[in-house]
């Protein structure tokens, strides 16, 4: 069915929804052809529930659901007697727990894959980065003399799995933080004891009738977030590097234009690299390449989406089709044979979108089944078999593509990615000294870790791109992960040429090093790379992370994982600005604690500022104050 819009109205709707040029023609198609997207569903949800938005709706037990008047009127207590402070704090901890669990459970799966690889029961994997394996083994005090690579990898895997739920009582990677930061965690009682323990205890604490002190609940939230950032997420990053290689600087391409009209297109969407790495291998299989040619295609084209895309981009240079709000649009190009999904940030609606075309959605995780998808369950022991089967399915589906309906917009944008901490050190000549000198000398005023999602509540990619441009203009280096990094890639900010948009001082540093002013550091679990970089800078200066001229930003965040990330940034001492208000404004006490009180606890706090210019003002002011504190 075609819905007729006058061209100006259509252009205006599209413009209001996204700044992604490659997305615009496809978005216009969805509107004209009645293919539903997240933007349409957001409209249909209006007006959204004010109790939910301010965090004062409690649905924990069957005496409820209860809601509190966020303006201080009646009712001001739920049936159990919980007031706004408690309800808001418990809801926030619930979100944070969910996010920390998602990251950490992903981490556990990567570690289990390494264990099975080391034991010889996984199919198609090998340990690629022996240097990192040895570094991590040393941190875990694992003897390596006379041991094989697989024996060491097995011991590291078991050492990490220990830290998920046993009584060891600390997480090794927290020892990577500077001593002054660790001291803050110990003093305030938020040093995480184990990954699963903090999450489970968090779930316990939000049960009906467990504690009524909002501050106590939120402090545990910080401990849980640290267990994610310095635990589950950091393990996910480090073990993925050990298994698949630590990222190095490389060039690739981004936006919906990476799809190819004459090739079999497979999109890899989700978060965990363990299967998608195998799909990359399987796509190189000569028999399958031949089969693709037999079916009339020029070959097999892989494209990433969201953080699985970031993982493959960072290590393999696989082009990336887009970020979270691109997922339905990628399907609406009509050019995708298969979209492979693992888990997280995958719209439950994608099978409906795919049904408008020949596209098959292939779910692969036992945890993440989607009605309407073909389920090809992945386990390390059948990894290669599953990957080969998925690629074959895609090739066979190419015959059903209607080329007349294919809409691949424009050309992809070139980008540079792969900025692991190791790659950054490499670019600096093996030491952080040039970076520290540039910060001390003022050529780089400070740095911002910009992370997080898309959210149809604000124009797609605008928050990331506008804030990034404003920061680099002020000589503030930006490092990014997740959908933020993909947005910058599409806008051309991940290229050395983008240094032209930076202030003169930052421009000269970027030009001298041949790097972009915005660095792509990976997927969302790779926010742990940002922590490691911050820790190394702080250790070099013998200060806590909270004393550094750093900030965090999440201009378009939406997921529970983003709640955890922002919280571990703050708990680690990094002032963090959110572009979307969290659901806490029903409690003035919670807002005051998050926006100010935490400064006295962990040396950092949150701010909410949707306007990118004002957000940059807040960040710059904070960075200048920290510089003053350091006497630079």
Q: Which of 242, 254, 538, 562 binds ligand BF8 (CB under 6 A)?
A: 562
Nearest distance in Å: CB 322, ligand BF8: 10
Nearest distance in Å: CB 346, ligand BF8: 9
Nearest distance in Å: CB 306, ligand BF8: 4
- Residue carrying the six token digits 């589950």: 232
Nearest distance in Å: CB 558, ligand BF8: 6
Give strand ranges (E) for 318-445: 320-322, 338-341, 360-363, 374-375, 413-417
Q: Nearer to ligand BF8 by C-beta: 68 or 562?
A: 562
Helix (H) or strand (E) holding 538: helix 527-541
Among positions 306-325, residues that touch ligand BF8 (CB under 6 A) are 306-307, 323-324
Q: Which of the ranges 38-46, 289-297, 402-410, 559-567 carries the binding residues for ligand BF8, by CB under 6 A?
A: 559-567
Q: Where are the alpha helices (DSSP H) in 195-300?
A: 195-205, 214-227, 233-244, 273-283, 286-294
Q: Nearer to ligand BF8 by C-beta: 191 or 562?
A: 562
Q: What angle do CA 393, 394, 397 make, to 5 degrees?
A: 85
Give Cα separations from 338 to 22, 374, 380 (angstroms): 20, 10, 21
CA–CA distance, 415 with 493 (Å, rounded to integer): 8
Q: Nearer to ligand BF8 by C-beta: 416 or 453?
A: 453
The reply to whether 339 sits near ligand BF8 by the rule CB under 6 A is no
Q: Which of the ranges 82-90, 185-193, 511-519, 556-564 carries the binding residues for ligand BF8, by CB under 6 A?
A: 556-564
Among positions 452-511, residues that touch ligand BF8 (CB under 6 A) are 452-453, 482-483
Q: Which of the ranges 121-129, 189-197, 284-292, 555-563 carries the binding residues for ligand BF8, by CB under 6 A?
A: 555-563
Q: Which of 280, 185, 18, 4 is nearest to 602 (CA)?
A: 185
Among positions 253-282, residues that touch ligand BF8 (CB under 6 A) are 271
CA–CA distance, 118 with 121 (Å, rounded to integer): 8
CA–CA distance, 453 with 555 (Å, rounded to integer): 8
Q: Which of 631, 574, 585, 632 is nearest to 608 (CA)?
A: 585
Give Cα separations from 50 to 70, 96, 491, 585 (angstroms): 9, 21, 34, 10
Nearest distance in Å: CB 33, ligand BF8: 25
Nearest distance in Å: CB 485, ligand BF8: 9
**Residues present in the chain in total:** 632
Q: Nearer to ligand BF8 by C-beta: 70 or 456?
A: 456
Count interface residues toward ligand BF8 (CB under 6 A): 15
Per-residue binding string, ligand BF8, 342-381, x by CB under 6 A, is ---x------------------------------------
- The token pair at 143 is 């003897």
Q: Nearer to ligand BF8 by C-beta: 483 or 593?
A: 483
Give Cα separations from 616 to 82, 191, 436, 452, 536 (angstroms): 38, 31, 22, 17, 25
Long-range CB pairs of 179-186 (<8 Å, 24+ gap) are 180/538, 180/543, 180/544, 180/547, 181/535, 181/538, 181/544, 181/545, 181/546, 181/572, 181/573, 183/544, 184/544, 184/546, 184/573, 184/602, 184/603, 185/226, 185/571, 185/602
Q: Nearer to ligand BF8 by C-beta: 464 or 622?
A: 464
The reply to whether 60 sits near ligand BF8 by the rule CB under 6 A is no
CA–CA distance, 335 with 583 (Å, rounded to integer): 38
Among positions 182-211, residues that touch ligand BF8 (CB under 6 A) are none
Q: Which of 561, 583, 622, 626 binds ligand BF8 (CB under 6 A)?
A: 561
Spell 458-479 as b/e; 16+ CB within 10 A means b.
bbbbbbbbbbbbbbbebbbbbb
Per-residue binding string, ligand BF8, 414-453, x by CB under 6 A, is --------------------------------------xx
The reply to whether 559 sits near ligand BF8 by the rule CB under 6 A is yes
Q: Which of the ranges 251-259, 428-436, 554-562, 575-583 carries the binding residues for ligand BF8, by CB under 6 A?
A: 554-562
CA–CA distance, 579 with 265 (Å, rounded to integer): 34
Nearest distance in Å: CB 600, ligand BF8: 30
- The token pair at 407 is 């809409």
Half-sphere exposure of 88 (CA within 13 A, CB side): 27
Among positions 509-548, residues that touch ligand BF8 (CB under 6 A) are 523-524
Q: Which of the ranges 149-157, 514-522, 558-566, 586-594 carries the binding residues for ligand BF8, by CB under 6 A?
A: 558-566
Binding site for ligand BF8 (CB under 6 A): 271, 306-307, 323-324, 345, 452-453, 482-483, 523-524, 559, 561-562
């Amino acid at each position: 069915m075609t819905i007729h819009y006058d061209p100006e109205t259509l252009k205006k709707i599209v413009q209001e929804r996204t700044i992604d040029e490659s997305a615009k023609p496809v978005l216009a198609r969805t509107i004209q052809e009645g293919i539903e997207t997240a933007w349409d569903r957001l409209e249909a949800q209006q007006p959204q529930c004010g109790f939910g938005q301010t965090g004062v709706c409690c649905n924990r037990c069957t005496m409820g659901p209860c809601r509190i008047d966020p303006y201080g009127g009646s009712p001001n207590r739920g049936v159990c007697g919980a007031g706004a402070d408690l309800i808001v704090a418990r809801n926030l901890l619930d979100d944070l727990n969910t996010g920390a669990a998602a990251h950490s459970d992903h981490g556990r799966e990567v570690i289990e894959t390494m264990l099975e690889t080391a034991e010889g029961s996984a199919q198609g994997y090998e340990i690629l980065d022996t240097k990192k394996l040895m570094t991590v083994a040393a941190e875990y005090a694992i003897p390596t003399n006379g041991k094989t690579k697989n024996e060491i990898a097995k011991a590291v895997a078991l050492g990490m799995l220990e830290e998920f739920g046993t009584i060891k009582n600390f997480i090794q990677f927290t020892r990577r933080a500077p001593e002054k930061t660790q001291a803050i965690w110990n003093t305030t009682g938020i040093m995480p004891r184990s990954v699963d323990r903090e999450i489970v205890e968090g779930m316990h604490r939000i049960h009906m009738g467990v504690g009524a002190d909002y501050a106590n609940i939120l402090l545990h939230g910080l401990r849980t977030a640290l267990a994610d950032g310095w635990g589950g997420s950091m393990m996910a990053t480090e073990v993925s590097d050990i298994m698949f290689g630590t990222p190095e600087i490389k060039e690739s391409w981004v936006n919906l234009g990476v799809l190819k009209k004459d090739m079999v297109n497979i999109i890899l969407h989700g978060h965990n690299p363990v299967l998608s790495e195998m799909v990359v291998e399987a796509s190189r299989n000569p028999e399958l390449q031949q089969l693709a040619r037999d079916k009339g295609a020029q070959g097999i084209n892989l494209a990433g989406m969201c953080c699985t895309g970031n993982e493959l981009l960072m290590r393999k240079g696989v082009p990336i089709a887009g970020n979270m709000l691109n997922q339905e649009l990628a399907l609406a190009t009509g050019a995708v044979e298969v979209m492979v999904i693992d888990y997280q940030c995958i719209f439950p609606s994608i099978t409906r979108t795919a049904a408008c075309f020949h596209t098959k959605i292939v779910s692969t995780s036992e945890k993440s089944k989607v009605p309407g998808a073909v389920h090809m369950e992945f386990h390390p022991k059948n990894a290669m078999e599953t990957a080969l089967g998925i690629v074959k399915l895609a090739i066979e589906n190419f015959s059903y593509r209607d080329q007349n309906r294919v809409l691949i917009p424009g050309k992809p944008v070139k980008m540079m990615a792969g900025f692991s901490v190791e790659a950054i050190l490499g670019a600096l000549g093996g030491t952080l000294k040039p970076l520290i000198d540039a910060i001390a000398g003022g050529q780089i005023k400070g740095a911002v870790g910009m992370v997080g999602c898309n959210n149809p509540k604000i124009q797609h990619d605008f928050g990331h791109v506008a804030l990034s441009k404003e920061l680099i203009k002020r000589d503030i280096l930006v490092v990014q992960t997740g959908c933020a990094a993909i947005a910058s890639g599409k806008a051309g900010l991940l290229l050395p040429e983008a240094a032209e948009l930076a202030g003169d001082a930052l421009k000269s540093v970027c030009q001298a090093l041949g790097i972009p002013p915005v660095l792509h550091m990976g997927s969302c679990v790779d926010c742990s790379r940002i922590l490691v970089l911050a820790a190394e800078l702080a250790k070099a200066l013998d200060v806590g992370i909270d004393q550094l001229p750093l900030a965090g930003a999440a201009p378009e965040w939406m997921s529970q994982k983003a709640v955890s990330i922002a919280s571990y940034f703050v708990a680690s001492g990094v002032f963090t600005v959110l572009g979307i208000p969290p659901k806490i404004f029903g409690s003035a006490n919670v807002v005051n604690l998050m926006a100010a009180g935490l400064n006295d606890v962990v040396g950092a706090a949150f701010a909410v500022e949707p306007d990118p210019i004002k957000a940059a003002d807040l960040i710059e002011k904070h960075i200048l104050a920290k510089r003053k504190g350091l006497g630079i």
